[in-house]
Amino acid sequence: MGMVATSPTWHTPASVRLLPDDGNRYECVAGKLLVTPSPKPRHQSVASALYQALLPACASGGLYLWWSPADLELRGDVLVQPDIFAFRTAHGGPAREWHEIERLELAVEVLSPSTARYDRVVKRRLFQELGVPEYWIVDTDARVIERWRPADERPEICATSIGWRPSGADAPIAVDLPALFTAALGE
């Protein structure tokens, strides 16, 4: 189960990178360490389906769409690993090192029982504070996506479709959510 470590140690991206490669995912936000286990197949199936649906819009908009594991140090006291994320680099090409990813255009987290509170509270606040234009929380049980933007006090709950047009994209993309969940979960 995901948990915030109770150690009084102040964690930094550098200290997190020194932790063992033991199958857990380690992140830190404002000095707090979050440890979560590897995701389950259900989580990965939905993340994969959403990634495939978003890829055309990102490609036409000159964005890169990647997935975790990743070591995104978006601020000096932050190291996060969104499940899916879209970005541009200053040099216009793919990132060669994680530090080249300075800003996200989209961050997506697929909820797991061990990450729900962290994704909905800590990461949501962080991504809003950092000005990430779109933060999506995918709830596989409810089969909805919560869309958050920087100034939002409440999410937009998307149950039938979610649309997104990244800056520079040729056209917006609309994802049929019932079809996505049915295909990904086989239910």
Q: Is residue 74 part of a domain?
A: yes
Give the pLDDT of residue 166. 82
More confident residue, 5 or 50: 50
Quick check: is 43 in a domain? yes
**Domain with 134 in it: what CATH number?**
3.90.1570.10
The token pair at 33 is 């360490």
Q: Which of 102, 137, 95 is nearest to 120 (CA)?
A: 137
Taking only the tens place, the pLDDT of each residue in 92-134 is: 888 999 999 989 999 999 998 888 888 999 999 999 999 999 9
The pLDDT assigned to 1 comes to 41
In a domain, 49, yes or no: yes
Six-digit token string for 176: 């049929």
Give me the pLDDT at residue 8, please.
57
Flag whether pLDDT at 3 surpasses 60. Answer: no
Mean pLDDT across the chain, nearest whole number? 90
Q: Does any domain span residue 145?
A: yes
Confidence at residue 87, expressed as pLDDT on a 0 to 100 scale: 95
* DSSP code at position 78: E
Give the separation between CA 14 and CA 61, rounded to whole angstroms.
33
Per the domain annotation, does 27 fall within a domain? no
Mean pLDDT of the 161-165 span: 93
Percent of the chain with pLDDT over 70: 96
Q: Is the pLDDT of residue 11 over 60?
A: yes
Whether 137 is in a domain gets the answer yes
Residue 17 lies in a domain: no
14 occurs within a structural domain:
no
Whole-angstrom CA distances from 187 to 39, 178, 181, 183 are 19, 10, 8, 8
- Per the model's pLDDT, the better-predicted residue between 159 and 22 turns out to be 159
Q: For the chain, what is the domain count?
A: 1
Mean pLDDT value across residues 166-173? 81
Angstrom distances, CA of residue 84 to CA of 8, 19, 44, 105, 136: 30, 23, 11, 11, 10
pTM value? 0.90
Domain interval for residue 149? 39-185
* Predicted confidence band of residue 23 (pLDDT cuts 50, 70, 90): confident
